[in-house]
Amino acid sequence: MKAPSSLFLKGHVLPSSIFLLRNSKVIFNWVHNTGTPNVKMHPIWCLCKAIQTNSYEISNGSYHPTVQQTTEKKTMEKLSRKVESIGAFQKLPIVMPSIDIIGSALRKARKVSPTKGIANIAKREKNKGAKQLDALMKEIAVPLRTYVENFPNKMHLHPYERSLIELTLGDGYYEMVLRKVDSLRKRVVSVGKEHASLCAKSSSKREAEERLNEGLKKIEEIFAQERKVVDDLLGIAKTLRAMPVINLETPTLCLVGAPNVGKSSLVHVLSTGKPEICNYPFTTRGILMGHIILNFQKFQVTDTPGLLRRHDEDRNNLEKLTLAVLSHLPTAVLYVHDLSGECGTSPSDQFSIYKELRERFNGHLWLDVVSKSDLLKTSPVVYATDEPHPSQLELEKYRKSGPNGAINVSVKTQGGLHELKQRVHELLNLQMAKINDISNNQEK
């Protein structure tokens, strides 16, 4: 059984702070819910300067709610009441550290006094001892039962959250810890009852005192032996609560591509997300969230770990997280191709990964970008063969300019970024229309 990995704990998720920048000079062809360009507008790109793991209200800067905004908000509220399938991690019970549970239980148990009106000293002592042992047992068992009952059954979770549990904690770890917490509870209850009963049967004051001390010691010992599982559960709750909250009703853009191709650099440019950027593969080690605010609309952006050319069974948990996002969330995809030879994955390998994913996730709205255009040579060397095979021609074409319709961008020179933002906005509006269609169909 694997210990929890730190996919979500590596300091990528910064405390949220809101900081709005404006760039009102961009002109877009607004694609309304119909998906047809119709009205020319001047949207405001508000770039919030933090990775955001929770949704928030914008209360300062340039933002003033409008009537349209209020109506939209009400619609969203109605929708989110209907679809409550994601968000279980935010409802997890608060787990007390094991040291606090035992400390508080002992303090409370020792304060329990005998039932009033027992004149016989021995009987009074037996009564007090049994009650104290019973109290200690309950003060430990009740919180443990609350945890076991209120941590959700993995099978009842949204498949995305289920994948997060499996991929971040390790397969089976979540259930194992809950099972152990429950077995600790059962042991404490059984030993507590046994000693309370022995104490109640004592024949003298002294024996009752001894039975009480023995019982207290025994319960403490049993708890001390296994209390680590309570702290493990506390760790699980912390890890899960820190995971990015994804609202299924808000259009989401998911950046995908091989490792080191420049996904996080683009997330930086496009959104509030501030992921780590480094010149080595798998810098991004979890699903990171940012937001784009465009024309008073909020969209979500997720950065994902890179994907290598290999079979699914050989993929690491980071790659599996990316596939979980694509499999279970209704995101639009911004696929990043690096044809400069800098990223460490050859264009032909990137092409294979791309073709496989494009086919597998063909239901997603999709946009391709060729990154690092500042490094691209104007006339790449093409090795002609006598009669090139069609697939070879396809690959050569890919090496030259990426998939059909891909936009060339450079974060370094800012080349193509204006067009990219415009196309991203169009894509997210199409995604919004898709979400609305789905929820209208659900209502019917």
Ligand X SMILES: Nc1nc2c(ncn2[C@@H]2O[C@H](COP(=O)(O)OP(=O)(O)OP(=O)(O)O)[C@@H](O)[C@H]2O)c(=O)[nH]1
Interface with ligand X (CB under 6 A) = 257, 259-265, 277-279, 281-284, 305-306, 371-372, 374-375, 410-412
Using CB under 5 A, pick the residue from 98, 202, 264, 272 that binds Mg ion: 264
Nearest-approach distance from CB 374 to ligand X, in angstroms: 5
Q: How far is CA 5 from CA 96, 180, 240, 316, 326, in A?
A: 22, 19, 12, 12, 21
Number of residues that bind Mg ion (CB under 5 A): 4
Residue 215, H or E segment:
helix 205-226
Nearer to ligand X, 284 or 431 (CB): 284
Nearest-approach distance from CB 401 to ligand X, in angstroms: 16
Nearest to 240 by CA among 310, 151, 373: 151
Nearer to ligand X, 143 or 257 (CB): 257
Site for Mg ion in 272-291 (CB under 5 A): 283-284
Nearest to 154 by CA among 70, 244, 88: 88
The entry of ligand X, Mg ion, none near residue 371 (CB within 5 to 8 angstroms by kind) is ligand X
| Contact of 102 with 223, CB cutoff 8 Å | yes
Give the pairing of strands 28-31 and 37-41.
antiparallel
| Contact of 293 with 259, CB cutoff 8 Å | no
Nearer to ligand X, 314 or 387 (CB): 314
Residue 27 φ then ψ, to 5°: -115, 130
Region of residue 315 (left: phi > 0; alpha: psi -120 to 50; beta: else): beta
DSSP state letters, 375-444: G--SS------SS--HHHHHHHHHHHH-STTPEE--TTT-TTHHHHHHHHHHHHHHHHHHHHHHHHHHH-
Nearer to ligand X, 5 or 127 (CB): 5
Give the pairing of strands 252-257 and 332-337.
parallel
Q: What is d(CA 348, CA 351) in angstroms, rounded to the nearest whole number?
A: 5
Nearer to ligand X, 262 or 402 (CB): 262
Nearest-approach distance from CB 373 to ligand X, in angstroms: 7
| Contact of 332 with 427, CB cutoff 8 Å | yes
Nearer to ligand X, 132 or 302 (CB): 302
Nearest-approach distance from CB 89 to ligand X, in angstroms: 23
CA 359 to centroid of chain Cα atoms: 26
The entry of ligand X, Mg ion, none near residue 408 (CB within 5 to 8 angstroms by kind) is none
Tokens of residue 307, six digits:
């994907």
Nearer to ligand X, 12 or 227 (CB): 12
Nearest to 420 by CA among 377, 376, 370: 370
SS3 of 268, please? helix
Nearest-approach distance from CB 248 to ligand X, in angstroms: 25
Nearer to ligand X, 141 or 325 (CB): 325
Nearest-approach distance from CB 283 to Mg ion, in angstroms: 5
Nearer to Mg ion, 190 or 316 (CB): 316
The entry of Mg ion, ligand X, none near residue 374 (CB within 5 to 8 angstroms by kind) is ligand X
The entry of ligand X, Mg ion, none near residue 282 (CB within 5 to 8 angstroms by kind) is ligand X
Nearest-approach distance from CB 86 to Mg ion, in angstroms: 23
Strand order in the sheet with 407-408: 45-46, 288-294, 297-303, 252-257, 332-337, 366-370, 407-408
Nearer to ligand X, 98 or 410 (CB): 410
| Contact of 373 with 408, CB cutoff 8 Å | yes
The entry of Mg ion, ligand X, none near residue 196 (CB within 5 to 8 angstroms by kind) is none
User: Angle at which helices 121-150 and 205-226 pack, to 10 degrees?
Assistant: 20
| Type of residue numbered 43 | P
Nearest-approach distance from CB 10 to ligand X, in angstroms: 12
Nearest-approach distance from CB 1 to ligand X, in angstroms: 28
Nearest-approach distance from CB 12 to Mg ion, in angstroms: 9
Binding residues vs Mg ion (CB under 5 A): 263-264, 283-284
